[in-house]
Structure 1
Amino acid sequence: MSAWVYVAGIVACGVGAAARYALGLARREGSFPWPTVAANVVGSAVLGAAAGAVATGAPEWVLVVGGAGLAGGLSTFSSLALDAVTLWGTARRWGAVAYLGATFALGIGAAWLGWLVTS
């Protein structure tokens, strides 16, 4: 694989991280972490789409740039974990459970839909 593919993956990761940061600015202190849910769901869809495209003949760089780069920069397991712990620790246990369940269900669904669209 060309060095330019890795450079493009790094740039895409930066774009994804900047988008995640911008989404995070929309969140108010103490509110439900919808921006993190959105980032993870969109990241799952992008990764599913990239993987589906490569599985049906697209060049492998699509997975490096779109999957590892853009989706990897956009989605965030560490924020998911911190948000869940924060919700739980501030006695919003049902919020933590709903957050984890919604993120899991919507993320799997988005990855599946992304795969279907491109494969």
Structure 2
Amino acid sequence: MELGCTQAHSEATVQRIEEQPMQHAASQVLSGSGDCAASVIRTRGGIYSDAFLRVVEPSYDLHMGAENLGPVLYSLVRFCKAKHILESGAGYTSIFLLQALEDSAAELDLYRSGVR
């Protein structure tokens, strides 16, 4: 399954992660202080917000068989940092995928702005 990530891109990502001073960032997260803690809070995921749950609730149907698939697909898209998605189906999971794209874009914007 092609996820759109080349080996060179993966290796460059691993190298950047290894070069970052993780001890300082980890202490900020654990203490709940600094920009790092705020960044973690802001990127927790839109599917956990009350507003998102209110929007998706009318589309929920136990008989569709996708009641657990929405959060799984959301997590997969966030993990892979996908920018484009092609989906076919009845539409229940579409809102989860759209939220994942939105959250990933917001997280990338924070990263690019230097808030880590």
Query: Same fold judged by TM-score > 0.5?
Result: no
Larger fraction in helix: 1
The structure showing larger relative contact order (alpha-carbon pairs under 8 Å, at least 6 residues apart) is: 1
TM-score by length of 1: 0.30
